[in-house]
A = this chain, B = another copy of it.
């Protein structure tokens, strides 16, 4: 059992900060695009713009990899592509299994971004016997019973879980027992894994919820609470930060602009509301 401990001791990596590692794929993509356009060199400023980050951050990130730039010129695109690929371990071929071939699993199987980056889908696995043999993305789906054998035969160390939440932990346990040490989890569940196994989580609904939070904040700043008329967004250059009266939202009485704006900096206290 042993729940809990799902976190990573992580950052013990050889010098390279976790935040930097997370950005390397971003740089790599931008560099690949430049490479395809036969651009020979690129400055930190240009590359940073293409990757959507700060140039100083980019330079510092690269400094962890070594001094691959030339002052006064910039970075050699091809060379940098190679260095980052090597650092990320993409110069080798990573066999990957996808477990749970529903809509999402099928989407992942068809996703081109994998094959083009050193990943190879070694097998598609599903628990539904009726799916066995069905071709998805030009590859027959195999039954869960074969899981251990598939992993052993292909030397798979990375697994993708796109099953329903209820099956995720069980699948995870089997993957780990079979030798998988890195898992990308799409199921909305917290997975428990032993030390030494990395888990990364992608949760679609969480991302949306975070957006909703900001959206609500934006709407609240500008007008009342309720989703009044879907008014065309006028230039809300108001630029003020009226502390949202979120507490008052319980009583949605149209949009009261007047509504006091006392309380400047401090957070708004819920005040009432019986405990």
A171 to chain B minimum Cβ distance, whole angstroms, is 16
Interface presence of A133 (CB below 8 A)? no
Instruction: Report how many residues on chain A are interfacial, defined by Cβ distance under 8 Å.
Output: 130
Is A250 a contact of B114 with CB atoms below 8 Å?
Answer: no
Cβ of A216 within 8 Å of any chain B Cβ, yes or no, is: yes
Q: Mark A231-275, 1 if CB is under 8 A from B, else 0.
A: 011001010111110110110101011001011111111111011
Known A117-B209, A198-B215, A212-B90: A155·B230 in contact at CB below 8 Å: yes
With a CB–CB cut-off of 8 A, which chain B residues contact A30? 190, 271
Contact of A269 with B66 at beta-carbon distance under 8 Å, contacts A25-B206, A103-B107, A114-B205 already known? yes
Q: Which chain B positions have C-beta within 8 A of A94? A: 208, 212, 215
Q: How many copies of this kind of chain does the complex include?
A: 2
Is B157 in contact with A182, judged by CB distance below 8 angstroms? no
Q: Is A112 an interface residue (CB 8 A)?
A: yes
Residues of B within 8 A of A110 (CB): 102-103
Q: Name the residue in A30, A158, A243, A246 with the highest tally of chain B Cβ atoms < 10 Å from its Cβ.
A: A246
Also in contact, A196 and B184, with CB within 8 A (given A14-B267, A264-B116, A265-B116): no
State whether A112 and B266 are in contact (beta carbons under 8 Å apart), knowing that A25-B209, A207-B202 are contacts in the complex: yes
Taking each of A15, A110, A152, A262, which has the highest tally of chain B beta carbons within 10 Å of its own beta carbon? A15
Residues of B close to A269: CB separation below 8 A: 33, 36, 66
